[in-house]
Amino acid sequence: MIKTIFNHRSIRKFKPEPIPGEILQEILLAGTRASTTGNMQAYSMIVTSDFSLKEKLWEAHFKQDMVKHAPVIVTFCADFNRFNKWCTLNKAFPGYDNFLSFMAAAIDAILVAQNVALAAEDHGLGICYLGTTTYNAEKIIEILQIPKGVVPITAFPIGYPDETPGLTDRLSLNAVVHYEKYNDYFDDVIKKLYEEKENMSFYKDLLKINKKETLSQVFTDIRYTKKDNVFFSKSFLNVLKNQGFMNNEI
């Protein structure tokens, strides 16, 4: 188990081989063993393998090729639609059209996703999380005909890896762990924590390619810009409203 966790790499190139049905079933079932708020299971998994749908999802996911080439894309959604329907059919009045319920359902969906990811990797399959799911949730909702009460949170392709990338760098454990309370960072501590990363040849090359002075600027000016973040924030908040999760707020 721990081995599988420590061996995780994001896989972006897949063999065309399909995933055997019983393996896919076991992986999805592993998802359902995750804890969820009140055991309400306020999530859904959408398993897409149809090529024309994958092509549309590929567009929504900023044309990342793995979305087209992997045999299967799984989209993990926060889902109160099913639970709301069950309540309404049973003389109960669901009060899950608000931001807290969205967060609870989103947490459910992400825990399920990580179980599915690890179960897949345990079977020699590879995955790569698609952050573009929240960016383009509106388009994904349209493509996958997702109803009110449901919001896509994350997604990944699953397939047999056609590449063997090395482990990705991480900050040292003391950069991300605090004991007892949060210990805020002094400037010199921050410098030390990021020093190793800044000195890696991978990131030095990234600087050159992007013609930036510092690695931080590659993130703020190119990869994750304020302009994009603000644009997609508005669009994702709109999705929450349209899908019925902000009805009691503001």
Rg (CA), the chain: 20
Q: Which of 113, 62, 105 is nearest to 82 (CA)?
A: 105
Q: Which amino acid is at 136?
A: N
* Binds a second copy by CB under 8 A, chosen from 165, 200, 210, 225: 225
Q: Which of 8, 13, 68, 69 binds a second copy (CB under 8 A)?
A: 8
Least distance from C-beta 15 to a second copy, angstroms?
21
Q: Which of residues 90-119 bind a second copy (CB under 8 A)?
A: 90-96, 98-101, 103-104, 106-107, 110-111, 113-115, 118-119
Would you count residue 224 as binding a second copy (CB under 8 A)?
yes
Phi, psi of 159 (to 5 degrees): -175, 175
Pick from 2, 21, 166, 211 the residue near a second copy by CB under 8 A: 2
Judged by DSSP in three states, 249 sits in coil
- CA–CA dist 134, 140 (Å, integer): 9
Torsion angle (degrees, nearest 10) of CA 46, 229, 207, 201: -40
Centre a 10 Å sphere on the Cβ of residue 76 and count the other Cβ atoms it contains.
27
- Print the binding letters for residues 39-78 with a second copy: x by CB under 8 A, - otherwise: xxx-xxxxxxxx--x-----------------------x-
- Draw the binding track, 133-152, toward a second copy (x: CB under 8 A; -: no contact): -xx-------xxxxx--x--
In the complex with a second copy, which residue's Cβ is closer, 67 or 118?
118
Select the residue interacting with a second copy from 187, 201, 208, 211 (CB under 8 A): 187
Strands (E), 58-124: 72-79
